[in-house]
Structure 1
Amino acid sequence: MKTDPILQLKNVDTFYGAIQVLYDINVEIYDGELICLLGGNASGKSTTLKTILGVCRIKRGSVTLAGERIDGKPTKHIVSKGVAIVPENRRIFPRLTVLENMEMGAYLRTDSDQVRSDIEKMLELFPQLKERLHKPGVVLSGGEQQMLAMARALLSNPKILLMDEPSMGLAPVLVDRQFDLIQEVNKRGTAIFVVEQNANMALSIANRGYVLQTGSIVLTDTAQNLLNNPMMKKAYLGGGAHPSHE
């Protein structure tokens, strides 16, 4: 018997005011999966994440988390139910220490003993953060800030982790390391939905992928099939990531 998706967008239309930006979006992510959403600038990738988080309201369709409708709910409610995000450009708290940034991720939790244990697990996963635990976030490199943003999000103990352009602004060698870490987090049991322009890199670690073009999903398949798809090779697999301005 097939289980319900951890996260499902069904027939979703999203508008900015009178302007429609997402058209009939259908996405399913199951427990333990690593799914990528690919597309170029202004394709609607970031808007899809904002729709999940309740920042953008839908006019048709539904968004469900573990079978519960979350569309129309406040963002705080959605986060409390188990959705976390590593935002584009990381957006850590620069004046707070690494430890304080991590603790912010657990601000809705009441199991303080388990939080301390989970912080130790994050420091094992991201050992560079342990060396800078009491340093302000502003002194971290771009790669270290990305690790901190991931650790902060994971400390909310999410059902699903959303990641918005994790390769943005990172040197190529750091991009490889970043995607290794994303894969490791997924192997430890966290479902991940990653939005990314670097299609080759995203598909190399994903189970399945969706391709978004001007607000509509034009292709979905296993990651391996997408890597071998002639349309994908022509449109998306010729280069790496480029800055997004969605």
Structure 2
Amino acid sequence: MEAFPFGLGDFGFGSNRQYGISEQYENFEIYQMHGLGNDFMVIDAVSQDFTPEDVPIAAWADRFRGVGFDQLLVVGCSETEGVDFRYRIFNADGSEVGQCGNGARCFARFVADKGLTDKKEICVETAKGIIFPKLSDNGMVTVNMGKPKFMPSEIPFVPESGEGDDACIYGVHLESGIQPVSCVNMGNPHAVIVVDDVECAPVRETGSRIEPHRQFPERVNVGFMQVVGRTAIRLRVFERGVGETQACGTGACAAVVAGIRLGLLDEGKR
């Protein structure tokens, strides 16, 4: 993970009215970070005033005309007793989401490197609950993402093929036919598809059809998983509101959970 501080004025946003940026953000400090290539704009809303609803996030996320990123991470104060920070996540299209695994790791490194906390384990409030990132002495960050959820109402997902609530595989009805998926919620919704080879998987074609599908009322992240062995997978993810990304932390968690449920992976292994 690397962090690079910038001012929005460095990108011409301060004087460029087409982006609708108010003068208060002309010299606003931002950071760029990434986890395994999954990249973020990070904004410290503890030390400076920032309201994400007031800015054109999608314009900032544009890789040709803006800064360019998969998600915007906003580091804020929590009003909940015993909670260290509030963590808000916005996709490249401007939609707010409940969780981001790689983002949580970057979040923890950010607050530590910025001197906002000296704790090794921090309590962070997200839209979908509390997470506890841990910082190791070697600079690595681990995050307990909580228990996965499988009930269709918890994804959320609307079955249309008569499957029960405890099914490991559901059918998504596409024009080309019924696509089998495993549904997992890791703080955000995931549909996992098992493929023979991720290199030639139709990630953009199929992902773009399933992501906004009517059976997923809140849209969905679509993972394409190749099982390499009982303890290893290869994965590509078409993220909700973003498209294919270089990595997806919750997507990796969802894929492993789905693989275990399907009997393709061993439980309790690394």
Q: Which has the higher strand share?
A: 2
Structure with a larger share of its residues in helix = 1
Is this a same-fold pair by TM over 0.5? no
What is the TM-score with the length of structure 1 in the denominator? 0.30
Between structure 1 and structure 2, the one with the greater Rg is 2
